[in-house]
Amino acid sequence: MPSCGSEPGGCGQVKEENPLTMHEKIEAMLEKVQKAPRYTGGEMNTAVKKWDEAALRFAFCFPDTYEIGMSHLGMKILYHGINSQPDMLCERVFMPWVDMKALMEAESVPLFSLESRTPISRFDVVGFTLQYEMSYTNILAMLKLGGIPLKNAERAEDDPIVVAGGPCAFNPEPLAEFIDAFMVGDGEEQILELNRAILEGRRAGLSRMDILKSLCRVQGVYVPALYDVSYNEDGTIAAMKPNCPEAPEKVMKAIITDLNSTYYPTEIPVPYTDIVHDRIMLEIMRGCTRGCRFCQAGMLYRPVRERSLENLVELAMSLENATGYEDISLSSLSSGDYTCLAELIRELIRRMKEKRVSISLPSLRLDSILKDSLEETQKERKTSLTFAPEAGTQRLRDVINKGVTEDDLIEKVRDAFQGGWSSVKLYFMMGLPTETYDDLDGIADLAGKVVREYFAVPKDQRAKGLRVTCSASVFVPKPFTPFQWEPQDTQEVVREKQRHLVTALKKVKGVNFNYHESDLSYLEACFARGDRRMGRVLLRAFEKGCMLDGWGEHFKYQAWREAFEETGVDPAFYAFRRREKDEILPWDFIDCGVTKEFLWREKERADAAVTTKDCRKGCNGCGLQRFKGVCSFCG
Amino acid sequence: MMAVFEKSPRLRHIGHLDIQRAVQRALRRSGLPVSYSKGFNPHILLTFASALSTGYAGRREIMEVQLEREVSPEAFLSAMNAAMPPDMQLSEAKMLPDQHIALMAAVQAADYTITLTDDAAAAAIAAKLPAFLAQESIIALRRTKSGMKETDIRPLIHTLKAEGNALRAVMTLTERLACKPGMLLDALAAFCGFEETPRVMVVRNALLGADTAGALAPLETL
Ligand code: SF4
C-alpha cells in the first residue's frame, strides 16, 4: 500500500490480527465482489498520510455506496480540510454493497478505510454525514460492521467518538441514542474545532464524558446525552432540558460569514470508476433567498453568501489543474441568482477553452448573453433540460412561494425547443398543503402546453424526438420550513392522487409520467420530524435486516411496519398529524438562524396563498437579521 | 511519444476504459502539449499497445501520446509522473519516429506471471507441466462474438515454466490470435483434473514484439 509505507494492510496498527491476513482477506474478497473498484482506494489526490504521525485520526463515513459518496461535494471539502491540518489525518469509508458486506462478515473483516485499510474502530473520531433520512440504517450497519457499539451509552472509554453532521443533523433526535455528538451548520471550521477539542481532551486525560461535555463550547455542537426529554400524555414533548451546566439551552448553528476566506480544496479525489457526478463541482454560493416554503435547504443554509468571481475563477483553475476533469458544474441552490453569473461563465469559458473544459449549469438560464457563449462550447451537449415548477397551478405555486409563473416556464421551454433541445424534464410534488384535484389537473395542463410549444416550432427548425418527462414526488414536510406543522397525505390519499395523475397524463400525448411508491416518503416523513422514540424503531428495523433502504430492491417495507408495531411507536403520530402552534417540536432547541416566528408567519401566508418576495428585493426578517454582519441583504 | 507505465496490483480491478480515462486526465493535469482530435467531441490522441483485462496488473504497459510540439522524453517523464496516481507511474519514455507501425499491430506476444493462491494447486500444476506441454495440441475454448470457439493454444504457448507457486508464460498476443492467461488456466485445470479453475493473480510483465530477426523482444526496446 503506497499510502502507508512498506507494510501492506495498515501500517502495523492492526494489533489483534496479523496485518497480512486482513489485507489478504480483503484482496481475496475483491476477486469475488461485483464492483471491486469501490474498495480499492489509491485514487488521484487521495491523502497519503502516515498513520503514526497524526495525532488525531478521523474516519469520514458516508452512509451510502462509493459512487454516491464520492459525488458529494461536502465530503470532499471536509476530507481535504482535515487533511490540510499537519497533525490530523482523514480517511474515507463507504457503505459496502451487500456482496462485500456478506464476505466481510463471513471472514470477520471489520469495516475499514479506503486509504490505509484500517478498521474504523481504530480511529479517534468516526464521523457520518447525514444527507438523507433513509440512510440511517446504513449508519447502524457501518457501526456494527466496524465493531463499534451501536448505542452511545454502551461505548467504552477508548471507543472512537462518533459524530455526525449534514442537513439531517438539524433534527438529530432520531439518532440521539447512537451518535455521541452532532455538528449543526457549516462544517469547514467547526469540524476542525471539534477535532482540536477532542485532541486536547485526550491529551489532558479527560474521560469520554468530559470530552463530550467540552465539545459544547464548539459552536453548533449538540451532545444528546447531556439533555433529558419528557413527554406529555398525548405523546408530544413536555420539555427538553440540559442535564449539565456545559450544555446550552439552545444550540446555535455554526455559520461561516465569508466563504472566500474559508477553506476550499484545490485538489479533490479523482475516482477511477464511474460515479454519479464525475466532475468539478464549484460551490458558487451557499444559501438561497427565494424562500420556497417546502424547501428545507433554503432555510437551513441562510444567509446567502456568494463567493467572489476572482475567488471562483482561481479555484476553478487550480481544481482543473489538479484533477484534469473535463467538466465543471456550478453548484448552489439556485445558481441563476448568483450576482455575476454571466461574467463568471464567460470568464470560465475563456480560461478553460484551451483545455476544452465544458461548463454546465444545473439550472440553466437561457438569457441571450449566455446563450451565445454556451452554444459555442456546448454544441454537442444537448441533453435534457430540467424545470421544476413543483405545482400545477398558480394558486398552489403561490402557496409554496415558488416564484415561477406559467409564462416564465413556457418562455424558457420555447427557447429551449428553438435552441435545439427536444428533451425536457418537469418536476412536481404531490401532496403539498392545500392541494386539490384541480392542482393535479394543472400538472397535466402544463405538460400539454409544453408539448404544444414543441410542435409550434417549424419541423425543420426543431430537433427530432420530443421527450417530455413528468415526475411527481410525494411531499415530505421538513423541520425548519413553514410546513413543519403540516400533516403529510396518508398513503391512501397519495395512491388515489397518483391514479388520478396517471389517467390525466395519459391524455397528453408525448408525455412520460414517473412517480414513486409512497412507502419510502412516508418513512422519510417519520424520521424527518421524528423524536428520540423513532430511534427505537430504527434499531428494531435494523435488527430485522433493514439496510440500504434508499435502494429500491433492498427496501423492506414490511419489516419497517413490524418494527413500528413491536416498539409500540405510531408512525401516524409523526407523519399524518397536524402540529399546534405552541407544540414543542423535537428540533426547537436548535437555532438554525431562521426563527420559529418567521416560519409561522410564512405558514399563515401560505394558508392564504400570499407570496413573500425574494429577500434580495428587501429583507423579510427571517431571523438572520438578529446577527450583525451575517446576512448581506438585510442592510 | 511512447511511454511505459505500471498498472499496480492494487489497481488490477480497474478496467481498461477507466485506466484510459485516468491517463487522459493525467495528461490534462500534466500541462503537456497534448493533441486533441478534431470534431464535436474532441479527445486526447492517446492509444495503448494492448488493453489489459480487468483483474490483471501490468508491469510494463505501453501507451502512445501525440504531442503538438516536441518535448524531451525526460521532460515528458517528469511531468507525467507528477500527474499520474502513485499506482500508475511511468518508467520510460521515448520519441517514436514519425512513420512507425501502429503499436497495436506490433505486439506479438506477452510475458505473464500467474501466481496461484493455493500452494497445493501450484504444486500439482508444476508436476504436470512437462506432460501438458508435451501434448501435440491443446484445445481451449475461447469466447468470441459468435459464441464459444475452439482454438488450439499449443502453438500459442512460447514458453511456460513453474517458478515457485507461480507460472511464467510467454504467449501469443496479436489482434487476431491470442492465448490469454484465463484460457491457459482452464486448459491446465482440465488437464490436471481440477474441478474448478484455481484462483490466480495475473501480472503482465511485458508486451513483446518481433525484432528484425523475428525473435521476441520487449516492444519498447524495438
Ligand atoms: S435576514 Fe432578511 S435578507 Fe437575510 S436571509 Fe433573512 S429575510 Fe433574507
B185 contact residues in A (CB cutoff 8 A): none
- Pairing, β B200-210 against β B56-65: parallel
A600: helix, strand or coil: helix
Q: Looking at the partner chain, which of B25, B40, B87 has a beta carbon nearest the beta carbon of A270?
A: B25
- Pairing, β A227-231 against β A590-591: unpaired
φ, ψ of residue A148 to 5 degrees: the values are: -105, 130
Q: How far apart are CA A494 and CA A515, in angstroms?
A: 11
Q: How many of the other CB atoms lie within 10 Å of CB of A492?
A: 9
Question: B25 CB near a chain A CB, below 8 Å?
Answer: yes
Cell of A302: 441562510
CA distance A325 to chain B (A): 6
Query: What's the angle, vertex CA A311, arms to CA A309 and CA A313, rounded to 5?
Result: 70
Pocket test for ligand 1, best of A624, A628, A630, A632 (most atoms within 8 A of CB): A624
CA distance A56 to chain B (A): 25
Report the separation in Å between the CA atom of A198 and the middle of ligand 1, taken as the mean of its atom positions: 35
* Long-range pairs of A542-546 with CB within 8 A, sequence gap ≥ 24: A542/A137, A542/A140, A542/A141, A546/A137
Q: How far apart are CA A109 and CA A98, in angstroms?
A: 14
> What does the domain layout of chain B look like in residue ranges?
2-105, 107-221
- Pairing, β A237-242 against β A227-231: antiparallel
Which residue from B minimizes the CA distance to A317? B29
Q: How far apart are CA B87 and CA B148, in angstroms?
A: 35
Report the separation in Å between the CA atom of A483 and the middle of ligand 1, taken as the mean of its atom positions: 19
Specify the ligand 1 atom closest to the Cα of A287: 5
Concatenated DSSP letters for B36-92?
Answer: B--SSS--B-EEESSPPPTTEEEEEEEEEE-BSS---HHHHHHHHHHHS-GGG-EEE
CA distance A515 to chain B (A): 34
φ, ψ of residue A201 to 5 degrees: the values are: -60, -45
Q: How confident is the model at residue A372 (pLDDT cuts 50, 70, 90)?
A: low
Nearest CA among A373, A372, A369 for reference residue A359: A373
pLDDT digits (tens, 9 = 90+) for A109-131: 999 999 999 999 999 999 999 99
CB spacing of B41 vs A380 below 8 angstroms: yes
pLDDT digits (tens, 9 = 90+) for A328-358: 988 888 887 888 888 888 899 888 888 888 8
Q: Is the pLDDT of residue A182 over 80?
A: yes
CB spacing of A44 vs B22 below 8 angstroms: yes
B202's enclosing H/E stretch is strand B200-210
B117 contact residues in A (CB cutoff 8 A): 28
Which residue from A minimizes the CA distance to B22? A272
**Any idea which residue has 442592510 for its cell?**
A635
Q: Is the pLDDT of residue A186 over 50?
A: yes
Instruction: Give the residue, A434 or A7, on which the prediction is more confident.
Output: A434
Q: How confident is the model at residue A383 (pLDDT cuts 50, 70, 90)?
A: low
Q: How far apart are CA B167 and CA A582, in angstroms?
A: 77
Q: Looking at the partner chain, which of A42, A320, A323 has a beta carbon nearest the beta carbon of B10?
A: A42
Q: How far apart are CA A266 and CA A257, in angstroms?
A: 20
**A285 pairs with which residues across the strands?**
A306
Q: How far apart are CA A538 and CA A560, in angstroms?
A: 8
Whole-structure pTM value: 0.91
Instruction: Give the residue, A421 or A65, on which the prediction is more confident.
Output: A65
Domains of chain A: 31-251 (3.40.50.280), 279-380+593-635 (3.30.750.210), 382-530 (3.30.750.200)
User: Amino acid identity, residue A299?
Assistant: M
CB spacing of A2 vs B87 below 8 angstroms: yes
Q: How far apart are CA A451 and CA A470, in angstroms?
A: 12
pLDDT digits (tens, 9 = 90+) for A28-53: 999 999 999 999 999 999 978 999 99
Residues of chain B where predicted confidence (pLDDT) is lower than 50: none
pLDDT of residue B79: 97
Q: Is the CATH number of domain B2-105 3.30.70.580?
A: yes
Determine which of A304-308, A525-529, A631-635 has the lowest per-residue pLDDT on average.
A631-635
pLDDT digits (tens, 9 = 90+) for A224-267: 999 999 999 999 999 999 999 999 999 999 999 999 888 888 88
CB spacing of B85 vs A37 below 8 angstroms: no
B21 contact residues in A (CB cutoff 8 A): 272
> ipTM for the complex?
0.89
Concatenated DSSP letters for A383-442?
Answer: --EEEEEESSSHHHHHHTT----HHHHHHHHHHHHHTT--EEEEEEEES-TT--HHHHHH
Q: How far apart are CA A360 and CA A357, in angstroms?
A: 10
Pocket test for ligand 1, best of A290, A599, A620 (most atoms within 8 A of CB): A620
Cell of A57: 485520526
What is the residue-averaged pLDDT of chain A?
90
Determine which of A35-49, A59-73, A380-394 has the lowest per-residue pLDDT on average.
A380-394
B19 contact residues in A (CB cutoff 8 A): 272
List Cα–Cα distances, B102 to A40, B2, B99, B128, in angstroms.
33, 11, 9, 39
Contacts of B134 by beta carbon, 8 Å cutoff, 6+ apart: none
Cell of A455: 410542435
* 3-state SS record for A241-298: EECCCCCCCCEECECCCCHHHCCCCCCCCECCCCCCCCCEEEECEECCCCCCCCCHHH
Q: How far apart are CA A462 and CA A403, in angstroms?
A: 29
Q: Which residues form ligand 1's pocket by a CB distance below 6 Å? A: A 289, 302-303, 615, 619-622, 624-625, 631, 633-634
Q: How many of the other CB atoms lie within 10 Å of CB of B4?
A: 23
Q: How confident is the model at residue A470 (pLDDT cuts 50, 70, 90)?
A: very high
CA distance B14 to chain A (A): 6
**B152 pairs with which residues across the strands?**
B139
Specify the ligand 1 atom closest to the Cα of A598: 7
Q: How confident is the model at residue A135 (pLDDT cuts 50, 70, 90)?
A: very high
pLDDT of residue B140: 87
Q: How far apart are CA A225 and CA A240, in angstroms?
A: 12
A323 contact residues in B (CB cutoff 8 A): 25, 29
pLDDT of residue B149: 83
Q: Is the pLDDT of residue A9 over 50?
A: no
Q: Is the pLDDT of residue A555 over 70?
A: yes
Percent of chain A with pLDDT over 70: 93
